[in-house]
Structure 1
Amino acid sequence: MRASCGNRGDGARNVPAEGILVFDRETKSVVDLGKGFSSEVPNFDAKLFFLYPKTKGWAVIGRSDKYLPAAAVKVTSVSDREITFTLKESGPLMVWSETGAPQMEGATFESLGKGLYLATIPVAKGRREISLKR
């Protein structure tokens, strides 16, 4: 079976002006939905994909060690150069940045390709405010 999505112009959805990213949790990769997307799904099997709106060139994917990565994130402000958000608990964090690697004091970001970055942040209980710059 083959599943695919794309911008067909059927008007059924309100797509943000900047577009939408498709995040594949299995492969830890992103695709711009506006450029088309397809995936092979074996019969009687399933795949889970997440959709993230692009906002000023940012998308916070969330905790890479969680089944629902974005469930631990609440974005509080976004500009072209900076994004601020709260993590319910610290841990490994994935972020998409359209124009360059994110920067954060005390963390290094590894490029996973196509603007997706991973920061290895130790797991810790309690809320943590995060500000990323580029």
Structure 2
Amino acid sequence: MTITYEWRGDIDNSALNTLHAEGFDHPVGQTDWRAKLQRHSLGWVCAWEDHRLVGFVNVAKAGALLQTLSKLPCLEHSGEAFAWHSTEAYLALNGHRLDYPPKAAVALVRDAAAGTLGVARIARQLRDWTNN
């Protein structure tokens, strides 16, 4: 099974409501996510597995984004990769390219997922890897 990532992917309200309920352990709601995203969001990243929505994140501050995404239970086997790619896409969208040692990036994401790094430390490391 391959996970693919899509910037501003075309999401279905029903699929996102189901994913949200699974991720945050509550009954499936009827939120009109498409309208909210179009009205309020700069962008979002969708994770797809066999045309099924398995991950979603709305754009936020990079450090918080990485920390939050790395802990999503609904992406148990690919959450770290989703977190990293979403954060990297968010920074690139805002004109910040990262130059980082891959092993250090893996360690950063794993530490974020384990809860051993706070948002400020994650953000500081991302800033250190930013070329501009």
Given the two structures, how large is their TM-score scaled by the length of structure 1? 0.28
When you count strand as a share of all residues, which structure comes out higher? Answer: 1
Q: Which is higher, the Rg of structure 1 or of structure 2?
A: 1
Q: TM-score, normalised by structure 2?
A: 0.28
- Whose helix proportion is higher, 1 or 2? 2
